[in-house]
Structure 1
Amino acid sequence: MSLINVTNLTFAYDGSYDNIFENASFQIDTDWKLGFTGRNGRGKTTFLNLLLGKYEYGGHISASVRFEYFPFHVENMENHTLDVINDINPDYVHWELLRELSLLKVSEDVLYRPYDSLSNGEQTKVMLAALFLKENSFLLIDEPTNHLDSHARKLVSDYLRAKSGFILVSHDRSFLDNCVDHILSINKSNIEIQRGNFSEWWENKQRQDNYELAENEKLRKDIKRLSDAATRTSNWSHEVEKTKNGTRNSGSKVDKGYVGHKAAKMMKRSKGIEQRQQSAIEDRSMLLKNIENSESLKISQLAYHKKQLAELENVSIYYGEKAVCSDISFTIEQGDRIALSGKNGSGKSSIIKLIFGEDIDYTGTFRKGSQLKISYVSQDTSHLRGNLTDYANSNGIDESLFKSILRKLDFSRVQFEKDISSFSGGQKKKVLIAKSLCEKAHLQIWDEPLNFIDVISRIQIEELLLEYSPTILFVEHDSEFCNHIATKIIEL
């Protein structure tokens, strides 16, 4: 066991007025399986890069281990996988590599194939196997689930559960719950570490948030009560003070000593109330600093004139001579929330593209309602660039509504001034989802919408879909999300 000590860590990017980290201090045990969570743009990948020594920073980071980052950069993708592994870890022992690949259910023959011929899932597993063979290393595993289907996520999660000595960035709740024993969270005002898995951390956070909200309401009422009492006391004191130079109603002289004593007592009482009020205000200022903005989202979907929107009957989709899926049959009716499920390469995205209207080679029968309006969220965000105002205008959506949705998804107003190409992966996905929520459509089609998106935003989107029940066809490998949302599951 050794420790990674972070002391007074302070960092801001060049040209930025805001610190991403400010005097953050904590310790990490290198034997931990550490889940790393926080909303998009809070600095998770930045912190990993600071550990790797990529940026200058204030404060101090000390460790007796080497840091290794996943995913590893592969210079020559056309090389055989064995050569790629040798570049990652020249000191590996071959039988140990075969053991790791076996645990990840990867066949030995992938080692003798070009690396770029491997599926994304196979590349992820090969890279993890190679990295866990490094000795005296602490692994920084940055969102490994984005190219894994549901089956592969469970397999990799089980693999990581048997390991130790890593930080894992992931927004998949089931994945984290299965394989971590501590949570490092970047909150709005601080960084903290808790023992346990994600669900335990989330339960603790909700309990703390609810306590702080209740305390805040109690103190708000106390401050108002004390403020009203202070006003009354001040008025009484003022009235008493006025009688010092006057006469009583009977016409007798006023006892100025008595009046002065009474005024002094009221002044003392007023000071006491003021001190209690100030104390309550200070107590209140300590609350709510880490309450996340998670306002409700809304969607206004167009009603279609028929119950049935689309139908596939014995559809097979081809790329050249190869069928990517065969004999697919299902209907989409108003109110359906349909999850397309299946391993990578089973044809999920191809079916989505067919329904959306792309030119796809297929056999069988496909019917789509006339004048059916579809809002599409693609997997790809590489085309996003320019500012948000121009993006809204070019897509014919209401700019105010678009930005309002992004604010609810934790965008700061400063973010509105930046080029979209500089956004994090999760922020780019939020741009696509916000655009979809602004569009007037009969059907939403979302292809892996949650890649890179933080947990709190995922929960917001879940609540939206459950409250408004729009008609939606989606592909998503987050099992929690699918279990909560889907009214039908189409297994390919």
Structure 2
Amino acid sequence: MSLINVTNLTFAYEGSYDNIFENVSFQIDTDWKLGFTGRNGRGKTTFLNLLLDKYEYAGNISANVTFEYFPYEVQEQENFTIDIIREISPNSMDWEIMKELSLLDIDDDVLYRQFYALSKGEQTKALLAAMFLKENSFLLIDEPTNHLDAEARKKLSNYLRKKRGFILISHDRYFLDNCIDHVLSINKTNIEIQKGNFSIWWKNKQRQDNFELAENEKLRKDINRLSESAKRTSNWSNEVEKSKKGTTNSGSKLDKGYVGHKAAKIMKRSKSIESRQQGAIEEKSKLLKNIESSDSLKISQLVYHKNKLVELENISIFYGDTMVCNDVGFSIEQGDRIVLKGKNGSGKSSLIKLICGEDINYTGSFNKGSQLKISYVSQDTSYLKGNLTDYASNNNIDESLFKAILRKLDFSRDQFGKDISSFSGGQKKKVLIAKSLCEKVHLHIWDEPLNFIDIISRMQIEELLLEYSPTLLFVEHDSEFCKNIATKSVEL
């Protein structure tokens, strides 16, 4: 066991006025299986880069371990996998490598295949196995589940659960729950560490949020009551002070000493109420700092004139002589929320392209409603660029609604002035989802929409879909999201 000590850490990117971290201190035990959580853009990956000494910062980070970062960048992808593993962990014996791969349920034959020929899941597992074999290394694992199918995620999560000591960034709730024992949350105003998995942390956060909301309401009423009381007392004091210059009703002169004494007592009471009021305001200001914005969003989907929108019967899709899926059949009716499931390469994205109208080579019967309007969210975000105002205009969507949705998905106002190409992966995905939600369509089709999107935003999108029940066909490997959202499942 060793410790990672972070003391008075302050960091901002060059040219930015806002600090990502400001004077934060905490301690991490390298035996912990530590999950990171926090909204997109809060600094999770930035903190990993600070541990790797990639940026200059104020404060101090001390550790007696060598940090290794995943995803590992493989330069020579045409090399055999065994050579890449040996490059990462040169002291590992062949039997150790094979044992590690067996824990990840990978066949030994991947070792003697060129790395680029491996699937994304096989590449991820092979690299993580190599990095865990490296002596005196502490792994910083940044979103390993992106593009992994549900089965691959489960195997990887089970593998990590048996390991000792790492930091993991993931937005998959089930994945985190299965393999971590501590949570570090990067909140709006501070950083907290708790023992337990994500679900335990989330319950504690909800309990704290509910307590603060109740306290906030109580203090709000207290402040209003004290303000009214202070106002009345101040008026009394002023009236008494004015009367020092007057006379009594009988015409005799007032006892100015008595009146002054009475005015002083009222003023003292006024000051006391003011002090209590200020204390209540200060107490109120300590609350609600870390409550995340989760306002409900509103969408209005068009109603198609028929109940059945799309129908597929005995569909097989081909790329050249290669068949990617065989004998698929299902229909999409209004109100359906259908998840397409299957391993990577089973034809999920190809079916989506067929429904969206792309030129796909297929056999079988495919019928789509005439003049059916579809909104499509793709996996790819690399083409996004320009400012949000122009993006809304070019896509004929309501700019105010578009930006309101982004605000509710935790975009700061200064983000609106930046070029979309500079956004994080999660922020780019939110741009595509916000655009889709603004479009007047009959059917939403989303292909792995949640890649890189933070957990709180995922929950918020879930609430939206459950509230407004749009017709939706989607591919997603987040098992919790699928369980909560899908009304039907199609297994390929």
Place the TM-score, normalised by the shorter chain, in its bin: over 0.9
Instruction: Give the C-alpha shift of residue 255 in structure 1.
Output: 2.1
Q: Do the aligned partners of 2:88 and 2:134 also contact (CA within 8 Å) in 1?
A: no
Post-superposition Cα deviations, 1:231-272, rounded to whole Å, max 9, x if no partner, equal: 100111111122222222233332222211111110110110
Partner of 1:19: 19
Given the two structures, how large is their TM-score scaled by the length of structure 2? 0.99
Partner of 2:364: 364
Instruction: Give the C-alpha shift of residue 96 in structure 1.
Output: 1.1
**Greater displacement, 249-258 / 480-489:** 249-258
Instruction: Give the C-alpha shift of residue 444 in structure 1.
Output: 0.1
Q: Do the aligned partners of 2:378 and 2:447 also contact (CA within 8 Å) in 1?
A: yes
Residue identity opposite 1:490 in structure 2: V
Partner of 2:471: 471
Given the two structures, how large is their TM-score scaled by the length of structure 1? 0.99
SS of the residue corresponding to residue 19 of structure 1 reads coil
Partner of 2:458: 458
**Greater displacement, 208-217 / 306-315:** 208-217
1: CA distance between counterparts of 2:300 and 2:64?
Answer: 55
Post-superposition Cα deviations, 1:456-476, rounded to whole Å, max 9, x if no partner, equal: 100110001000000000000
Partner of 2:260: 260
Post-superposition Cα deviations, 1:164-185, rounded to whole Å, max 9, x if no partner, equal: 1100000100110010000011
2: CA distance between counterparts of 1:398 and 1:246?
Answer: 66
2: CA distance between counterparts of 1:483 and 1:26?
Answer: 36
Instruction: Give the C-alpha shift of residue 103 in structure 1.
Output: 0.9
Partner of 2:241: 241
2: CA distance between counterparts of 1:338 and 1:301?
Answer: 16
Partner of 1:250: 250
Partner of 1:41: 41
2: CA distance between counterparts of 1:289 and 1:93?
Answer: 51
**Greater displacement, 92-101 / 194-203:** 92-101
Q: Do the aligned partners of 1:33 and 1:166 also contact (CA within 8 Å) in 2?
A: yes
Residue identity opposite 2:444 in structure 1: Q
Partner of 2:387: 387
Post-superposition Cα deviations, 1:383-424, rounded to whole Å, max 9, x if no partner, equal: 111211222222121222111111111011111111111111
2: CA distance between counterparts of 1:326 and 1:229?
Answer: 77
What percent of counterpart residues are identical? Answer: 78
1:329 aligns to 2:320 (yes or no): no
Residue identity opposite 1:165 in structure 2: G
Superposition pairs of residues 149-228 of structure 1, within 5 angstroms: 149-228=149-228
1: CA distance between counterparts of 2:230 and 2:389?
Answer: 50
Instruction: Give the C-alpha shift of residue 315 in structure 1.
Output: 0.4
Q: Do the aligned partners of 2:177 and 2:199 also contact (CA within 8 Å) in 1?
A: yes
Q: Do the aligned partners of 1:35 and 1:183 also contact (CA within 8 Å) in 2?
A: yes
1: CA distance between counterparts of 2:88 and 2:8?
Answer: 33
Residue identity opposite 1:158 in structure 2: N
SS of the residue corresponding to residue 133 of structure 2 reads coil
Instruction: Give the C-alpha shift of residue 375 in structure 1.
Output: 0.1
2: CA distance between counterparts of 1:114 and 1:243?
Answer: 98
1: CA distance between counterparts of 2:159 and 2:147?
Answer: 16
Partner of 1:297: 297
SS of the residue corresponding to residue 132 of structure 1 reads helix
When the two chains are superposed, the root-mean-square deviation of aligned CA atoms in Å is 0.9
Partner of 1:275: 275
SS of the residue corresponding to residue 201 of structure 2 reads helix
1: CA distance between counterparts of 2:80 and 2:421?
Answer: 33
SS of the residue corresponding to residue 428 of structure 1 reads helix
Post-superposition Cα deviations, 1:167-208, rounded to whole Å, max 9, x if no partner, equal: 000010011001000001110011111111001101111111
Partner of 2:306: 306
SS of the residue corresponding to residue 427 of structure 1 reads helix
Partner of 1:10: 10
SS of the residue corresponding to residue 252 of structure 1 reads coil
Q: Do the aligned partners of 1:72 and 1:88 also contact (CA within 8 Å) in 2?
A: no
2: CA distance between counterparts of 1:447 and 1:131?
Answer: 31
Residue identity opposite 1:369 in structure 2: G
1: CA distance between counterparts of 2:482 and 2:205?
Answer: 24
Partner of 2:346: 346
Residue identity opposite 1:173 in structure 2: R
2: CA distance between counterparts of 1:256 and 1:168?
Answer: 75
2: CA distance between counterparts of 1:29 and 1:242?
Answer: 68
2: CA distance between counterparts of 1:244 and 1:420?
Answer: 69
SS of the residue corresponding to residue 244 of structure 2 reads helix
Residue identity opposite 1:447 in structure 2: D
2: CA distance between counterparts of 1:300 and 1:90?
Answer: 57
Partner of 1:320: 320
Residue identity opposite 1:289 in structure 2: K
Residue identity opposite 2:481 in structure 1: F
Partner of 1:437: 437
2: CA distance between counterparts of 1:103 and 1:321?
Answer: 35
Instruction: Give the C-alpha shift of residue 353 in structure 1.
Output: 0.6
Instruction: Give the C-alpha shift of residue 15 in structure 1.
Output: 0.7
Q: Do the aligned partners of 1:448 and 1:474 also contact (CA within 8 Å) in 2?
A: yes
Partner of 2:414: 414
Residue identity opposite 2:471 in structure 1: T
Residue identity opposite 2:472 in structure 1: I
SS of the residue corresponding to residue 9 of structure 1 reads strand
Partner of 1:94: 94
